[in-house]
Chains A and B, each alone.
Chain A
Amino acid sequence: MATIKTAVADYLPGLVARPDPKFVTEDGTRVYGVSCEFETAADAYHAAEKVRDAGFKHWDLYSPFPIHGVEEAMGIRRTILPVISFGAAVTGVLCALALQYYTNLVDYTFIVQGKDPRAWEAYIPVTFELGVLFCAFATLGGMLMLNGLPRFHHPLFNNDRFLKTSDDRFVIAIEAEDDKFDPESTPAMLESIGGSEITLIEDDA
């Protein structure tokens, strides 16, 4: 529940007040968290394992491409996206069957070429296509929704160096929201696992 409230507050700060910041900088700006950089996928992967083992929950590894097996290194649980997609596919199939049943058998029955309109085989192609169509929309929409996108501004973008993650740099960012976050020890921990360019990220939204 708290997560949903935070998400709504992120999107519509006028509607839901954001919770008070846990940490602020000297001039009173909310602290988003702290980030560090890695040069290679292998370094970032092994660092992620250490952050996971240190017990952090609100953190992420940013990489220009999906690193193979990073789910395990970060302790990410399987997404429920396939369930959403399957549900949408079933909905599409049922909608298609209902549409065809109502239009061609209930509302306006007609016989073409002497063929029984109740022969179900002829209704399969449209049923299949609508199942696929619904599934595709739900898959893309569900992926974006679960990711909290579209979200055009994010505190991480305040850091000029963060833009390099879309090129060839790997960034680990730990959020101040995390229970284990500490403005003194967390940057030190990031340094100890091999991160460079340790930066405090301000949340100026």
Chain B
Amino acid sequence: MSSIHPDQTTAERLAGLRGDPNAPGPDVRGSTGDDGTLIETPGTRAPLVLSDRSIGEVTDIICGYAESAPPKWWLATITIAASVAGIGQFMILYLIITGVGVWGLNNQVDWAWDITNFVFWIGIGHAGTLISAILCLLKQKWRTAVNRSAEAMTIFAVICAGIFPGIHVGRVWMAWMLFPIPNSNGIWPNFRSPLLWDVFAVSTYATVSLLFWYMGMIPDLATLRDRCDARLRAGVKRAFALPMPVGKDLPLPFLPSPDRVGAFVYGLFAMGWRFSSRHWHRYEAAYLILAGISTPLVLSVHSIVSFDFATSILPGWHTTIFPPYFVAGAIFGGFAMVLLLLIPLRELLPNFKDLLTLRHLENMAKIILLTGMMVGFAYSMEFFIAWYGANEFEFAAFANNRVTPIWLDANGAPYWWAYWAMITCNVLSPQVFWFRKLRQNPLVIWIVALLVTVGMWFERFVIIVTSLHRAFLPGEWHMFYPTWVDILTFVGSCGIFLTLFMLFVKFLPVFAMAELKAVMPEADPHADHEGAH
């Protein structure tokens, strides 16, 4: 141990004398090896924070992501993501000024990629709420490592989801008629329609998720504010320089210093939080209440999304299993997206592995396996009821429109590949997690997460398009072919999502710092001073 007093260390670090606090240290663990959190000994809990990090070091690591200069990979990613997002926004503009005819919709298939994308994105959001609300009520301490980024992902996915129903209505400027606003026509929305329930469910979900995310961030924003403030008070001079993906930073000395901007902006949103225990008491009560109401909310949202289909009389949609099936699928797809984003961040951001351990990844892999089995059960039960229900139209919707490949049977499904892609990705690929070595390997988890994400998009495509493309009269049968606008709008929504997530990674606390500190051993008020009994 060095003889430097901790306060001196802190003062030097804050004054910028100790360089970047997040300079990557020697990695003793390797990328796939055991980091000590995979123990199975009964009665021993895996540590949540590794490398004997102190509370102060946790602050330094997490704040360091927001404070240090953006790495080149970040600049490259956001440059590409923002460009793709720009293409997506151009496609939306093109759609609005031209009309929904620029999509490949036809008289029969009047919902296709638009609603597929909507359900895909809204489903992804559900994992964030599950982690922040349901795992909070279940007192799962490991959630503190992932809840902030998962909640951020929720908000951004809901933003992407909200785009599609908004623009698919055709006359976008009439979208206000979705809301009960008094108007000169003297009419009101139909509150008995699942589509209107959807408006209320999704907008409530977006708002409550945003409030929950924001409330959780207030103390962490206050930490960032205090660090900016401390640097200003210590007289640390940092000039504004615009980082470039290639080459040197572009100095912009006429702009205020990043610390001044940070103290103002973080300070504004931290609302003057001063870490008082009397405040913490009400804060924890508020957190528990929000978790309590978010739990039924998250279950209601995807149930209501499924009502959009289930309350219709279309074979393939008219199924009572839809609400639980959709909710399980949403959590499944959402956890896949969390893993898809966090596993690369673990490699890219310094010391991330100390806070997000292999145990966390394994836990999430287990949830993927569980929800994947639930989704697989729903697929088979849906098919079973189509047969057992003895409704020939419903059975045809499954057997002839989805399962039987057209090269096996002339009456078979031209969309067989979409159905079997869904089964392969969602039901078969998570089965590898039965093997401990595989569910403990980040690369394997990442590949499965990617497959699941693809599979969940196909699931919505199968539900929507294969049910619609063959109506009761064979004369009405049409295939759906996406246009370049369909494709680029979806790709653009991925760009919007990734851009927002990259901005989050750079400017906001990526971990719930206060919550993470509260589950560390040092936080226990009854801990022995010397750490030994």
* Contact flags A118-149 to B (C-beta < 8 A → 1, else 0): 01001101101110110111011011101101
Q: Are A136 and B208 in contact (CB under 8 A)?
A: yes
The CA of A157 and the CA of B215, in the complex, are separated in Å by 22
Specify which chain B residues have a CB less than 8 angstroms from the CB of A61 in the assembled complex: 276-277
Contact of B150 with A by CB under 8 A? no
Contact of A93 with B by CB under 8 A? no
Q: Are B289 and A81 in contact (CB under 8 A)?
A: yes
Tell which of A110, A147, A152, A164 touches B10, judged by Cβ atoms closer than 8 Å. A164
Q: Given that A108-B188, A129-B300, A143-B285 are contacting pairs, would A76 and B525 also be in contact in the complex, using a CB cutoff of 8 Å?
A: no
Contact of B428 with A by CB under 8 A? no
Contact of B56 with A by CB under 8 A? yes
Contact of A189 with B by CB under 8 A? no
CB distance from A162 to the nearest CB of B (A): 8
Chain B: residues with Cβ within 8 Å of the partner, total of: 74
Q: Are B293 and A76 in contact (CB under 8 A)?
A: no
Q: Are A132 and B297 in contact (CB under 8 A)?
A: yes
The CA of A151 and the CA of B293, in the complex, are separated in Å by 28
Q: Are A147 and B282 in contact (CB under 8 A)?
A: yes
Contact of A74 with B by CB under 8 A? yes
- How would you classify the secondary structure of chain A's contact residues: helix, strand, loop or mixed? helix
Q: Are A67 and B525 in contact (CB under 8 A)?
A: yes
Specify which chain B residues have a CB less than 8 angstroms from the CB of A132 in the assembled complex: 204, 208, 293, 296-297
Q: Are B192 and A41 in contact (CB under 8 A)?
A: no
Specify which chain A residues have a CB less than 8 angstroms from the CB of B283 in the assembled complex: 66, 143, 147
Q: Given that A100-B191, A130-B200 are contacting pairs, would A64 and B207 also be in contact in the complex, using a CB cutoff of 8 Å?
A: no
Tell which of A46, A67, A103, A150 touches B272, judged by Cβ atoms closer than 8 Å. A150
Tell which of A64, A139, A151 touches B223, judged by Cβ atoms closer than 8 Å. A64
17 pairs from A and B in contact (CB 8 Å cutoff): A44-B525, A64-B223, A65-B515, A67-B523, A67-B525, A76-B278, A81-B286, A82-B285, A85-B293, A103-B180, A108-B186, A125-B194, A126-B196, A129-B200, A132-B293, A135-B289, A147-B282
Which B residues are within 8 Å of any A CB, using their own CB? 10, 54-56, 59, 180, 186-194, 196-197, 200-201, 204, 207-208, 211-212, 214-215, 219, 222-223, 225-227, 229-230, 233, 267-268, 271-286, 289-290, 293, 296-297, 300, 304, 307, 513-515, 517-518, 522-529
Which A residues are within 8 Å of any B CB, using their own CB? 40-46, 48, 60-71, 73-74, 76, 79, 81-82, 85, 89, 99-100, 103-104, 107-108, 110, 112, 115, 117, 119, 122-123, 125-126, 128-130, 132-133, 135-137, 139-140, 142-144, 146-147, 149-154, 156-157, 160, 163-168
